[in-house]
Copies of this chain bind each other. A is one copy, B any other.
């Protein structure tokens, strides 16, 4: 049986991540009360209708009042403004966390606003789907996934531990790291792959000599795998790239270098180079399946058993 970890939890932003956290916390009794708000009146109204949090309120200031844990779950580019807005209303000694995909930029935007005695502990659940908005959350999202925890410089060890206890209760394993290293790791496993998928989908959509029906009908030959992550929330991803600029550009530079080497192998007919490269990448897939981070079912086990 789980027990209450925070008496009151406030969510600023009610999208996929906040919604999934709230649903899991309420199911397992991890919070005394969950309170939530969102900038858009429609999101607030949907959240209230589907009972996403115990109480929906109209402003971030109102949401954080008397909260023991404040979860910033807005696009990274909006974190600074939210921090400024809530700062005067925070309960002394509370913990503020975020669920953004970038950490150094969040530290830079949020920390200057927080009063002394408030503990800032960043968190980044390595889980998600291509869906977004208040209806997209589900309590099991974080099970068997990892959550990266990035403590602020003045967070008390007990506050960090408590947040890690919450994420463990949500089903995740914890990886603790520094903001810079976090941003580099995420550039590799998430940000660069997303940009590349967006690019490939854009190119296909743009090919004038191949018509759109062809691209769509024949997508099961590989292309459709790219379209899932290229369907992710545009605002969130715009902010990720603008705020994790250096690491993303570094990985994209490495990617281009490698792509050019493979293009050269194709042009010169160097089959051994291609074969060796493709054999090595196969092993990475095996590692991911063995670590329980993906299914071994053909085509991800998509849809019905027939795939």
Compute how far the CA of A249 lies from the CA of B259 in the bound complex, rounded to whole angstroms.
Answer: 11
For window 75-118 of A, CB contacts with B under 8 Å fall at: 77, 101
Residues A146 and B295 in contact, CB atoms below 8 Å apart: no
For window 55-77 of A, CB contacts with B under 8 Å fall at: 77
For window 212-242 of A, CB contacts with B under 8 Å fall at: 212, 214-232, 234-235, 237-239, 241-242
Residues B259 and A128 in contact, CB atoms below 8 Å apart: no
- From A241, A281, A297, residue with most partner B Cβ within 10 Å: A281
Residues of B within 8 A of A254 (CB): 203, 206-207
Over the window 125-144 of chain A, the binary record of Cβ atoms lying under 8 Å from chain B Cβ atoms (1 yes, 0 no) is: 01111110000101011010
Residues of B within 8 A of A284 (CB): 201, 204-205, 215-216, 227, 230
Residues A230 and B287 in contact, CB atoms below 8 Å apart: no
Compute how far the CA of A166 lies from the CA of B7 in the bound complex, rounded to whole angstroms.
Answer: 65
A219 and B281 in contact, given A200-B193, A252-B263 (Cβ under 8 angstroms) = no
Residues A223 and B188 in contact, CB atoms below 8 Å apart: yes
Is A294 positioned at the interface, with any CB of B under 8 Å from its CB? yes
Is A288 positioned at the interface, with any CB of B under 8 Å from its CB? yes
Residues B202 and A189 in contact, CB atoms below 8 Å apart: no
A249 and B220 in contact, given A202-B280, A225-B228, A278-B230 (Cβ under 8 angstroms) = no
Q: Out of B184, B226, B256, B271, which one reaches A259, CB within 8 Å? A: B256
Residues of B within 8 A of A190 (CB): 218, 221-223
Compute how far the CA of A248 lies from the CA of B262 in the bound complex, rounded to whole angstroms.
Answer: 11
A207-B251, A300-B302 known, 20 other contacts, Cβ within 8 Å: A126-B218, A130-B298, A140-B305, A185-B218, A189-B222, A197-B225, A198-B262, A198-B277, A199-B262, A202-B258, A204-B284, A216-B291, A216-B293, A225-B225, A225-B228, A227-B285, A234-B282, A237-B274, A238-B274, A300-B303
